[in-house]
Structure 1
Amino acid sequence: MQINVEMLLLSGGLVSAAQGAVLLYFWRRSRSALYLAWWAASFLVGGVLRILVELLPYSFDERNFLGILVIMLAYGMAWQGVRTFGGRPVVLPMVFLPPACWIVIGFSGLFENGSIAQMRAVSFLYAFTWAVSAFEFVRAQGVSLAARMPMILLCAGTAGLYVLRIFLIPSFPYPIGAGPAESWAYSVLFFVSIITTIPFGTFALALSREHAHATAKNWDEEPHHHHIRLRSTFFANVRLMLRQYRMRNEPVSMAFVHLDTGVERHPQAVENFERILRRFEMSVKASDMFSVVGRGEFAAVLGRSTAADAQAHYVNVLAGLEKLCRRQGWTLRVGVASSDTVGYDVNALIEASYMALSQARRDSHSGVVAFTSSMRKPVTPVMSNVTTLVPQPGAIQKHTIA
């Protein structure tokens, strides 16, 4: 049977791109799961760019070089996704480490193009990225998730396949080895890509769902060190975001949300907490950031947003949750601060947001407070920007606290 190699490679790219689109869709519904965004980007980059490489009128060697470069970049992004899942901050240079190594291999002259040594070096890089991903899953802390072990086995198994390939290269045809190209070898390569791409995406979605449910179930019972890890990861990523907006001279707002549930635990508390969490997640744009950072505490960073914009935004969010909170006897309070008031330093934004949140928590009702410079004074400030949701259904009032 004749195998169309070009169509096989294009099909692999389409499968990868489709998997990335699915992960991107679910990430947009759960913005705090940044690892889904990284994995979606990995599949989309690996799929779309691979298709473009195959369609462009380049020579075989050029397509081979660019194709491996795309795969290396996709693997680097997936690696950072695993780090994010494990509660560790993103290290952007690591994203470009695998492709940078391949560029060195390709242009340094140390390896002859298409030689056994070069292919072994590539296999080693592939195995390395999958192995470190497996290691990141192993050392990921937090709640026990059923899908984590299959993901560890998948990553470790794929790394093992690439290690095995190192020894098979001299005796197998291209693209598995360094021998003359054979169509069946392309079929094997396509099969391996399918049995890694589809299970990885499936387990990724399972991890996301399990993690969201566990977060909602244990939101007021998780150990303190877990919240510290969440906060450190989130704010490490916030620093990168603030740096970008400072370069563009655009305003950024930070918001801290506190959910006060009182002492009584309602039977539907977990379900309702998930609804509140999902509502806040869906309220931020794809370019913004959101995370659970403590027991009943959320944090968000809104790009291109002043303090007034953020305050108006969260007034609308709280209005949509008013009936639910009143039925549960819960109170939501939000403190916001903006770079146009305190600058782009992450610590200054955190401090200002918490000052505003502390001011909001003085009121017995759900409300949003925007930081002003007068809050830094030791005397009791006169606030004209406190927006409170009063208990009456749908009623929003703006009043001054003296």
Structure 2
Amino acid sequence: MRILPPGAGHDAAVLLQTRGIRAFGDGVVSVVLAGYLATLGLSEARIGVVIAATLLGSAALTLGVGLRGHQVGRRRLLRFVSVAMILTGLGFAAANGFWVLLVVAFVGTLNPSSGDVSVFLPTEQALLPGTAPDTERTALFARYALIGSLVAAFGALCAGVPEWIAAHIDASEETALRWTFIGYAVLGVAILLRYRSLSPAIEPRTEAPAVALGPSRGIVYRLAALFTLDAFGGGFVITALVVLWLQRRFDLSIAISGAVFFWAGLLSAFSSLVAVHIARRIGLVRTMVFTHLPANGFLILAAFMPNAPLAIAALLARAALSQMDVPVRTSYVMAVVSPAERPAAASVTNVPRSLASVLPPIVAGWMLGQSTFGWPLVIAGVLKICYDLLLLRQFHDIRPPEEL
């Protein structure tokens, strides 16, 4: 398989590389975050609050970038958020108290999920379509998703390293986990250096529009409303919370949980490539819906499994299907808006992934403190099924250019 689709150049390669670097950090952090906060003495409810703060802060910054970022150079903007990533890692490594952690979580770039919900995402998504022909747009986004899922899987697998270090040398688990966030800051330095190699051609060729969204405003707002519902459901089952559920329900260690999400990441990664072929046969919208529905069924099923192997099997089956819609959804949004509207459309449709996910982790953390049953999984599955059916009903007739 070619790393880059035909017609994609240097800037596309840089954006795929930075996606991979971020994904590794997200994969590690999403698995160790809940355990690290627990070693600091935080309750399940407070862990949920800190996780919610990371999502709320990301949403606010992402929305601001989408609506005002068209007035700033894209390369400068990406370098700025790279610095923010460095400071976030150092801040989490140094912090101890709940309130300090809460502030750093809100203003930083930390991602409690293996999927990308950071301010980096909409900016890169808006730039990617301009680096390849329209006919290769979905394939390019599939590679973007593939690299993100694949590298995040290896990051999740490495999440067990701090626990191994603590067990084999004279160091506490808390100290070992703190070094995870130092590593996160180092990854931010690597991303900053890669962004510096982006060419001036990556910047929009036309003057910044007077308004961020124009003729496509109605479509974007409708999609954003539906994505809000999907993200609200997803907030109950972000990686950090599923790890916490596996620990409470089946007494799984961080290392074993990391291995589970490594395999889940592998399945999610390669499913992105399968999604491209399905989309060429049945269309983008139908691909999103018909792969997402059974995934949500497996998510609900996992909550009822009586032992760890069966629960893990259901979660892995879900992973094999649940991320097929990611490159297809992004390609669809970028296709049904004008090029000038892409940065704002990317932000407005991505913000729900953070903003709508703020409350669920708090509720899910409280639920897991009351019962080990997977109520968060059941609630998430039901809400996501509602999203799938509504998306099919409202957008099955709105097609991208290649399907006309």
Asked if TM exceeds 0.5, the reply is no
Instruction: Return the index of the structure with the highest Cα Rg.
Output: 1
Query: TM-score, normalising length from structure 1?
Result: 0.28
Q: Which has the higher contact order (CA 8 A, sep 6+)?
A: 2
TM-score if structure 2 supplies the norm length?
A: 0.28
Greater helix proportion: 2
Give the structure with the higher percent strand: 1
